[in-house]
Amino acid sequence: MKTITNRRKISAFLALWLMLPGFLLLSGCGGDKGSITIPWTTPESLVFAYPYPGQQEVTPSTQMVLRFSAPLEETVIAEIDERLQLVTVESGAPVVFSHEIVDNGRGLLLRPVDGLVPNTEYQLQLSEAGLGTINTGAFSDFRFRTAGAQQGFSGAIGNGDFQLLAVTPLDQSALLVDIEDASQPNDMSTLRMAFNRLLDPAGINYGEQVRLENAQGGLVEATLLLQGRYLVLDPRDDLEPTEHTLILSGLRSREDEELPLLERSFTPVATLPRETAVLKVGTLGEQQPELTSRLTGQSVNEVPVETFVLGNESFTRLEGDLAADLAFVPDFPDAVPLRVPAGSVLRGSPVAVNILGEITSGIETGEVLITLLSDANGYLIANPFSKAQDAPRYALLNMDAAMTAGGTIANAALSQNLLNIQVVGLAIVEDGVLVMDAVSVVEPEILGLERASGLLSFRLEAYADQRNAPVPPTDARPLELQSWSPGEDFQPNARPGDPVILNFNKPLDAASVFLDGAIQIFADGNLVARELAPMRHDGATVVIDGSNLQHNTDIEIVLTSLLRDTQGNPLNQDQTLALRLDDLFLPGGSAANLRSPVAAVFPGFSCALTGAVLTGPRSAWRNGRCVGGKGSDPLFHVDSLYKDYPVRVTFNRSIDPATINDATFFVERRAPDNSWVLEPGRLDILPQRVQFFPDTPWQVGELYRYTLRSVPTSANCGVNAICAPDGAPLQTRQISQTSASAPAPREGGPDMVNYFVAAGEDERYTLVGLRVLPVVDVNANMVLDAEEQGAVVLPDSSIDAPPNHLRLELKSFGGVITDANLGCSLGQDCPEKRFAFLSSGALAAGPRTFDPDVEVNRRLIDGNPATDNFATGAIRANIYPTTISTTSAFLEARALFLITIGLDTGPLVLRLVAQGEDEPFITGFISDTPDGPWFNATIDILVDAPELEPRLIIELGHDIRSKRVRDVVLEGPLRFVDDGRLILKVRNPDPLLIPANIDLFGLGLGSVELEVPALAADLTLTFLPVKNF
Amino acid sequence: MTRKPHRFIPTNSSLYLTAVIIGALSNPALAGAGDAASTYGLGPANAGSAQAFSAFEPGAWALYYNPAAMARSPEGELSVVLQHGDQELRAKSLGGSDPLVRQNDILSDTSSELLLLGIKTRIGGASETARPMYLGINVGLDEYASNILPFQANTAEEGQFMRYQSQPLYLAFGAAVRDIVRGVDAGFSARLTLAAKARLEAVSDLAGNTDSEQLSLEGSPGLSPALGLNIRMSELFCGSSPCMPFGLDRLEAAVFWRDASDYEVSVDANVVIPGVVPDPGLDLALSTIDSFQPEVFGGSLLLPLGKFELVASLEQQKWSELESKFAGDSVRNQADMQFVDVTVPRLGASFRWSDQLRLFGGVALEDSPLKSSRSQDVNFLDSDKMVLGVGGDYRLDSAPVINAPVVLSLAYQYQKLDKRDFELTSINSPSDPAPYETVRADGDIQVISLSASVKF
Torsion of CA B427, B432, B438, B444, to 10 degrees: 10
**Per-residue pLDDT at B5:** 37
> What would the mean pLDDT of A231-258 be, rounded to a whole number?
95
pLDDT in tens, A135-166: 998 999 999 999 999 888 888 999 999 999 99
Q: Concatenate the DSSP letters of all residues of A801-818 into one string.
A: --SSEEE-EEEEEEETEE
DSSP A673: T
Chain A residues inside the 8 Å CB shell of B158: 36, 38
Would the CB atoms of A37 and B101 count as touching at under 8 Å? Answer: yes
| Contacts of residue A999, Cβ cutoff 8 Å, sequence gap at least 6 | A956, A957, A958, A959, A1005
**Which residues of chain B neighbour A43 with C-beta distances below 8 Å?**
430
pLDDT of residue B76: 92
Strand partners for A685: A690
pLDDT band at residue A447, thresholds of 50, 70 and 90?
confident
Q: Answer for the pair A210, A225: CB distance below 8 angstroms, yes or no.
A: no
What per-residue confidence (pLDDT) applies to B24?
A: 35
- Is B100 close to A39, i.e. CB distance below 8 A? yes
B277 to A278: CB separation less than 8 angstroms, yes or no: no
* Angstrom distance (rounded) from CA A503 to CA A538: 9
**Which residues contact residue A950 at a Cβ distance below 8 angstroms, ignoring those fewer than 6 apart?**
A901, A903, A956, A957, A958, A998
Distance CA A697, CA A645 (A): 9
Report the residue of B4, B8, B18 to disrupt the A interface, i.e. the one with the largest count of A CBs within 10 Å. B8
Pick the range with the lowest mean pLDDT from A107-111, A466-470, A580-584.
Answer: A466-470
Say yes or no to pLDDT of B9 above 50.
no
CA A530 – CA A431 distance, rounded (Å):
57
Quote the pLDDT of residue A6: 56
Instruction: Kindly list the distances between the CA atom of residue A459 and the CA atoms of A300, A302, A367, A628, B327, in Å, as whole numbers in the listed order.
Output: 6, 10, 20, 65, 45
- 8 Å CB contact between A330 and A489: no
**Residue closest to A89 by CA, chosen among A126, A120, A128:** A120
Residue B4 scores a pLDDT above 80: no
Rounded average pLDDT over A730-740: 94
Q: Are strands A639-642 and A752-759 parallel, antiparallel or unpaired?
A: parallel
Question: At how many degrees (to 10) do helices A2-28 and B11-25 cross?
Answer: 40
Q: What is the mean pLDDT of residues A884-912?
A: 91
Inform me whether the pLDDT recorded for B401 exceeds 90.
no
pLDDT confidence of residue A398: 95
Least confident range from A595-609, B103-117, B284-298: namely: B103-117
d(CA B278, CA B274): 6
**All residues at 6 or more sequence positions from B393 whose CB lies less than 8 Å from its CB, including other chains:** B44, B45, B357, B358, B360, B407, B408, B409
Confidence of residue A851 (pLDDT cuts 50, 70, 90): very high
Q: What is the pLDDT of residue A903?
A: 87
Measured in residues, chain B has a length of: 456
Whether residue A947 contacts residue A742, with contact meaning beta carbons closer than 8 Å, is answered with yes
In a 3-state reduction of DSSP, which class is residue B141? strand
Task: Write the pLDDT tens digit of every residue in A655-671.
Answer: 999 999 999 999 999 99
Cis status of the peptide bond prior to A743, with omega within 30 of 0: no
Q: Is the pLDDT of residue B34 over 90?
A: no
A938 vs A870: CA distance, rounded Å: 15
CA angle A724, A726, A728 (to 5 degrees): 55
Mutation target for B interface from A38, A279, A325: give the one with most B CBs within 10 A. Answer: A38
Type of residue numbered A750: P
For residue B37, the model assigns a pLDDT of 84
What is the ipTM for the molecules in this complex? 0.80
Rounded to an integer, what is the distance from CA A624 to the centroid of its chain?
A: 32
Strands B380-381 and B160-161: what pairing?
Answer: parallel
* Residues 200-259 of chain B whose Cβ lies under 8 A from any Cβ of chain A: 205-209
Contact B100/A36, CB-based, under 8 Å?
Answer: yes
CB-based burial, A119-148: b 16+ in 10 Å, e otherwise: bbebbbbbeeeebbbbbbebbeebebbbbb
Query: What is the domain partition of chain B in residue ranges?
Result: 5-455
Q: What is the pLDDT of residues A220-229, one digit of tens each?
A: 999 999 999 9
User: Closest to A33 (Cβ–Cβ): which among B20, B106, B444?
Assistant: B106
Residues A975, A912, A729, A687, Cα dihedral to 10°: -10
Mean pLDDT, chain A, whole residue set: 92
Rounded-to-integer distance, Cα B94 and Cα B439, Å: 5
Per-residue pLDDT reduced to its tens digit, A4-59: 445 666 666 666 666 655 555 544 444 577 888 888 888 899 999 999 999 999 99
pLDDT average, residue stretch A534-560: 93
Closest residue of chain B to A463, computed from CA coordinates? B275
Which residue(s) pair with A65 in the sheet?
A: A50, A109
Q: Name every chain A residue with its beta carbon within 8 A of the beta carbon of B4.
A: none
Residue A364 has pLDDT above 90, yes or no: no
What CATH class is the domain B5-455? mainly beta
Give the pLDDT of residue A383: 95
| Pair A403, A446: CB distance under 8 Å | no
Q: How far is residue A740 from each of residues A609, A735, A736, A898, measured CA to CA in Å? A: 20, 11, 8, 27
**What is the spatial distance between Cα B223 and Cα B236, in angstroms, rounded to a whole number?**
32
Q: Is the pLDDT of residue A545 over 70?
A: yes
Q: Is residue B17 predicted with pLDDT exceeding 70?
A: no
Kindly determine whether residue B205 and residue A39, on different chains, have CB atoms separated by under 8 Å.
no
Cβ–Cβ of A33/B107 closer than 8 Å? yes
To 5 degrees, how large is the angle CA A725–CA A728–CA A729?
A: 110
- Cα A751 to Cα A747: distance, rounded to the nearest angstrom: 13
Statement: residue B127 has pLDDT above 60: no
Q: What percent of chain A is modeled with pLDDT above 90? A: 76
Cross-chain Cβ contact A24/B20 below 8 Å:
no
CA distance A1023 to A650: 12
CB–CB contact B84 A25 (8 Å): yes
CA distance A917 to A508: 53
Q: How many CB atoms lie within 10 A of CB A489?
A: 10
Report the alpha-carbon distance of residue A74 to residue A577 in Å, rounded. Answer: 65
Residue type, B4: K
Q: What are phi and psi of B36, to 5 degrees?
A: -60, -40
How many helices (H) and strands (E) chain B has is answered by: 6, 20
User: Burial, A487: exposed, middle or buried (Cβ in 10 Å; 0-12, 13-18, 19+)?
Assistant: buried
Which of the 8 DSSP states describes residue B266? E
Percent of all residues in chain B with a pLDDT value above 70, rounded to a whole number: 90
B396's enclosing H/E stretch is strand B385-396
**Interchain pair A22, B13: CB under 8 A:** yes
CB contact under 8 A, A37 and B106: no
Residues belonging to chain A: 1029
For residue A570, is the peptide bond before it cis, meaning its omega torsion is within 30 degrees of 0?
no
pLDDT for the residue B129? 59
Nearest chain B alpha carbon to A465 = B205
Q: Is B276 on the interface with A (CB under 8 A)?
A: yes
Q: Which of A370, A317, A306 is nearest to A340 (CA)?
A: A370
Output the CA–CA distances (angstroms, integers) from residue A944 to A533, A651, A673, A814, A917, in the order listed: 41, 20, 39, 21, 19
Q: Which residue of A has its CA nearest to B7?
A: A11
Find the residue in A nearest to B410 (Cα): A17
- pLDDT confidence bin for B15, thresholds 50/70/90: very low
- By the 8 A CB rule, do A57 and A122 touch? no
**Lowest mean pLDDT: which of A374-378, A1010-1014, B15-19, B347-351?**
B15-19
Name the amino acid, one letter, at A18: L
Best mutation target among A40, A284, A386, A393 (most B Cβ atoms within 10 Å) is A40
Residue of chain B nearest A429, judged by CA positions: B206
- pLDDT at residue B1 is higher than 80: no
Of A682, A642, A699, give the one whose Cα is nearest residue A154: A682
How far apart CA A947 and CA A93 sit, in angstroms, is: 57
Q: Which of A388-402, B119-133, B383-397 has the lowest mean pLDDT?
A: B119-133
Q: CB atoms < 10 A from the CB of A402, how many?
A: 26
Rounded CA-CA distance A358/A446 in Å is: 16
A368-372 and A393-405 strand pairing: antiparallel
- Give the integer Cα–Cα distance in Å for B241 and B251: 14
Q: Which residues of B touch A2 (CB under 8 A)?
A: none
* CB atoms B278 and A274 under 8 Å: yes
For the cut 50, the answer to whether the pLDDT of residue B183 exceeds it is yes
| pLDDT-based confidence at residue B140 (cuts at 50, 70, 90) | confident
DSSP B211-264: EEEEEEEEEEEEEEEEEEEEEEHHHHHHTTS---GGG-TT-EEEEEEE--EEEE
Span A979-985, average pLDDT: 89
Residue A18: in which H helix or E strand, if any? Answer: helix A2-28
By C-alpha distance, the chain A residue nearest B436 is: A40
Q: What pLDDT is attached to residue B13?
A: 40
pLDDT of residue A646: 95
Nearest residue on chain A to B271, alpha-carbon basis: A330
- Please answer whether residues B393 and B45 qualify as being in contact, where contact means their C-beta atoms are separated by less than 8 angstroms: yes
Nearest CA distance, B107 vs chain A (angstrom): 6
Choose from A5, A13, A276, A389 for mutation: most chain B CBs within 10 A.
Answer: A13
Share of chain A above pLDDT 70, in %: 97
Q: Is the pLDDT of residue A247 over 60?
A: yes
Residue in chain B closest to A42 (alpha carbons) equals B430
Q: Which residues contact A177 (CB under 8 A, 6 or more apart)?
A: none
Tell me: pLDDT of A492 over 80: yes
Cis peptide bond upstream of A587, omega within 30:
no
Q: Is A24 in contact with B86 (Cβ distance < 8 A)?
A: yes
Residue from A9, A12, A20, A28 nearest B13 by CA = A20
Q: How confident is the model over A455-472, as a mean pLDDT?
A: 91
Indicate whether A201 pLDDT > 60. Answer: yes
